Amino acid sequence: MGSGKRSLTTAAVALVCAVTVLSAPGMAYASPAKPAPSPTPTPTPTPSASAGSSGAASGDGTDLEAVRLKLDKLYREAATATEAYNAAEEKTEKQSAQVVELAREIVKGQARLEALEDRAGAAARAQYRGGGLPPEARLWLSDNPQEYLEGAGRVRQGEHAASGLLAEMARTQKDLAQYTKDASAQWQHLEDNRKKKASAKKKIKERIAAAEKLESQLEKDEKKRLAKLEEDAAYKAQTAWLSSGILKEINGRASAQGRKAVEYATAQIGKPYEWGAEGPKTYDCSGLTSQAWASAGRTIPRTSQEQWKQLPHVAVEDMRPGDLIIYFDDATHVGMYIGNGAIVHAPRPGRTVTIAGAGSMPILGVVRPDK
Could you say which of 17, 160, 313, 333 is catalytic? Answer: 333
Our answer to whether residue 17 is catalytic in this structure is: no
189 belongs to the catalytic site: no
Closest CA to 332 of 95, 85, 65: 85
Query: Per-residue DSSP letters for 131-162?
Result: -SS-HHHHHHH-S-HHHHHHHHHHHHHHHHHH
How far is 258 from 296, CA to CA, in rounded Å?
Answer: 7
Q: DSSP letter at 255?
A: P
Q: Other CB atoms closer than 10 Å to residue 371's CB: what's the count?
A: 10
Q: Which amino acid is at 130?
A: G
Contact 197, 17 (CB under 8 A): no
Cα separation, 289 vs 282, whole angstroms: 12
3-state helix, strand, coil in the chain (%, to 5): 60, 10, 30
- Among 360, 278, 292, residue whose Cα is nearest residue 324: 292
Give the DSSP letter of residue 303: S
Distance CA 69, CA 141 (A): 104
- Alpha carbon 261 to its chain's center: 16
Q: How far is CA 56 from CA 37, 70, 214, 238, in A?
A: 31, 14, 17, 22
Catalytic residue among 17, 160, 189, 285: 285
**Residue 333 designated active-site:** yes
Q: Annotated catalytic sites, by residue?
A: 285, 333, 345
